[in-house]
Amino acid sequence: MARIELTVDGAQVSDDVEPRMLLVQYLREKLGKTGTVIGCDTSNCGACTVHLDGRSVKSCNVLAVQANGHEVTTIEGLAEPGSLHAMQEAFHECHALQCGFCTPGMIMQSVDLLNDNPNPSEDEIRNGLEGNLCRCTGYHNIVRAVQAAAAAGATTAQPAAEKVEA
């Protein structure tokens, strides 16, 4: 067991974890952050995407211990409770989700994409989302949503103010 301390969605948390525990397992099983989901076992689907110090990572590809001392933002902390991040808004407006299983990861990756490139072309959006699979939407409306969010000037993740008792 190893002791880790980190910030998740604005809240300080600390736990003893097995060294092999994945960040996504830590988020789901220890913190109850079930908004972040697991879609594969080969780091191909992107369903588990979160931000680590503001950059997107696949949380199934990071050990919980590697997040020690860092700051993690999940879909649950992307906006303050009761409000939506511009990217969440855009996904809703553009009908960029159906079953919604890929959606948390897709939104987190899209935010990262615009942070890197506030004015992406359709090709740049498609390439930037290549690591995130969606089986429902055919990506058509996801591309629209990212374009809409870009037009609305959504570039940075709003720091989460949520206070969580871990």
Does 3 interact with other proteins (rule: CB under 8 A)? no
Q: How far is the CB of 78 from ligand FES (least distance, A)?
A: 17
56: contact with ligand FES by CB under 6 A: no
Site string (96-115) toward ligand FES, x via CB under 6 A: -xxxxxxx------------
Residue 160 CA to residue 158 CA, distance in Å, equals 6
**Residue 96: what residue type?**
A
Q: Taking the complex as a whole, how short is the minimal distance between the CB of residue 46 and ligand FES, in angstroms?
A: 5
Distance CA 60, CA 41 (A): 8
Among ligand FES, other proteins, none, what binds residue 138 when CB lies within 5 to 8 Å by partner kind? other proteins
Q: Are 61 and 43 in contact (CB under 8 A)?
A: yes
Min separation Cβ 161 and ligand FES, Å: 27
Query: With binding defined as CB under 6 A, does residue 39 bind ligand FES?
Result: yes
From residue 21, alpha-carbon distances to 15, 59, 146 in Å are 12, 11, 33
Nearer to ligand FES, 45 or 150 (CB): 45
| Backbone torsions φ then ψ of 27, nearest 5 degrees | -60, -45
| C-alpha distances in Å from residue 141, one per residue of 40, 92, 97, 104 | 23, 10, 8, 15
3-state SS string over 80-96?
CCCCCCHHHHHHHHCCC
Task: Choose among other proteins, ligand FES, none what residue 60 binds, the Cβ cut-off being 5 to 8 Å by kind.
Answer: ligand FES
With CB under 6 A as the contact rule, which of the stretches 42-50, 84-92, 120-128, 144-152 interacts with ligand FES? Answer: 42-50
- For ligand FES, the binding residues (CB under 6 A) are 38-40, 43-48, 58, 60, 97-103, 134-137
